[in-house]
Amino acid sequence: TMTHSCLDFGQIIQRPANAIKELIENSLDAGSTTITITVKDGGLKILQIQDNGHGINKDDLPLVCERFATSKIKQFEDLETIDTYGFRGEALASISHVAHVTITTKTADSPCAWKYAKMKKKKILIFFIRAIYSDGIMVPAKAGGSSDAKPTAGNTGTQIMIEDLFFNVPIRKKALKGSAEEYNKIIDIITRYAIHNSSVAFTCKKVGSNSADFRSISGTTRDAIRQSYGPAIAKELIDIFHTNTELEFKLDAIVSNANFKMKKMVFLLFINHRSVESSNIKRALENLYAAFLPKNSHAFCYISLEMKPQNVDVNVHPTKKEVMFLNEDKVIEYLCETIKEKLANVN
């Protein structure tokens, strides 16, 4: 059942990679074990995700694209102890404001799948103004309202099709880097989630292509790292596990040793299973590795931190992914001390 959360976290979709991150998190929340992503034109023309998760109830379909509609909070107290990625009920709403969204979904107990199209209601007025002032041809084909769910064939799971992302926000489209670069950013975010969720099989390909540009098969975290960065890295990795009851954090990391060199630092940070950025942690690690690696060589660092949700602020600024959390200095200190010790031992 859907409830409405009352908090505005200001989620902003700035580029296709932001959208795919939200969609992947939804698929993971739904318990998916395979996630397939299909992309056209760097995600601007088509960004599609297919999962085998628990699906969406037919009756909830008209609600899922509404702001603050989420199935993940049942009562207000839940906000304190959220253990799913999503809880704001804002991602699909944000996306459906800047793209055409079609959801095809089937729950296990439904006899068929349901297809629901949320076509962005274009501001008709703008159309007219454009037509009057620019001699432009009006193409309002996709500008209709939302339709009802229609029965269709399909397996249990959900497919979300995003078409013409930013069609109505040309300024945001202009700020992007071009298809190839946007596609790389999509692959980057998939790689992160594939490593953090190594039991889930991820695939990413371009529309019409038979070969995948990214593929991970279900296995260990190390398997996923090897699949993403090549076989050479596998034997040069260090595991770190640590539970700190006093500072209330749990650390689970896999980092490269001093024998392994990357052209650019790979820094994959997860806090409470959400991919985030922390320039403080990154800088500390870069400085640490600089003492062990030759010049212009860099490390691979995958770090997963878990802490009480109320100690983390993942939305410092709506346009930034930078994370802030309690005891940051001490967590960084612990991390660096531990890695330093291990790097010294390998040498």
The one-character DSSP state at 141 is G
Closest to ligand ADP by CB, 158 vs 227, is: 158
Q: Helix (H, G, I), strand (E, B), or coil: what is residue 294?
A: coil
H helix count then E strand count, the chain? 9, 17
Binding mask 122-161 for ligand ADP (x = CB under 6 A): ------------------------------------x---
Number of shown-chain residues binding ligand ADP (CB under 6 A):
23
Burial label for 343, CB within 10 Å (0-12, 13-18, 19+), is buried
Does 30 contact ligand ADP by CB under 6 A? Answer: yes
| Residue 98 within binding range of ligand ADP, rule CB under 6 A | no
Per rule CB under 6 A, is residue 38 in the interface with ligand ADP? no
Q: Cα 347 from chain centroid?
A: 36
Cβ-based nearer residue to ligand ADP, 90 or 182: 90
Q: Between 43 and 55, whose beta carbon lies closer to ligand ADP? A: 55
Would you say 91 or 176 has its CB closer to ligand ADP? Answer: 91
Q: If you search the block for the tokens 């942690």, which residue do you land on?
A: 281
Separation of alpha carbons 326 and 83, rounded Å? 18
Q: Residue 192: how many CB atoms within 10 A of its CB?
A: 20
How far apart, in whole angstroms, are the C-alpha atoms of residue 342 and residue 347? 9
**Which two tokens mark 16?**
């296709």
The reply on whether position 91 binds Mg ion by CB under 5 A is yes
The conformation of residue 136, written as its DSSP 8-state character, comes to: P
Main-chain phi, psi angles of 192, to 5 degrees: -60, -50
Q: Distance between CA 61 and CA 149 in Å, rounded?
A: 7
Binding partner selected for residue 158 from Mg ion, ligand ADP, none, CB under the kind-specific 5 to 8 Å limit: ligand ADP
Q: Choose between 158 and 256: whose C-beta lies nearer to Mg ion.
A: 158
Contact pick of 11, 18, 26, 304 for Mg ion (by CB under 5 A) = 26
In the region spanning residues 202 to 241, those forming contacts with ligand ADP, defined by CB under 6 A, are none
- Shortest Å, Cβ 229 to ligand ADP: 28
- Binding residues for Mg ion, rule CB under 5 A, total 3
**C-alpha span between 196 and 302 (Å, rounded):** 9
Contacts of 162 (CB under 8 A, 6+ apart): 19, 23, 43, 46, 47, 48, 95, 99, 100, 101
**Minimum distance of ligand ADP from residue 253's CB (angstroms):** 27
CB 307 within 8 A of CB 272: yes
User: Which does residue 64 bind out of Mg ion, ligand ADP, none, counting CB within 5 to 8 angstroms by kind?
Assistant: ligand ADP
Residues 58-87, mask of contacts with Mg ion (x by CB under 5 A): ----------------------------x-
In the complex, the residues that contact Mg ion under the rule CB under 5 A are 26, 86, 91
In the complex, the residues that contact ligand ADP under the rule CB under 6 A are 22, 26-27, 30, 51, 53-56, 64, 69-72, 86-93, 158
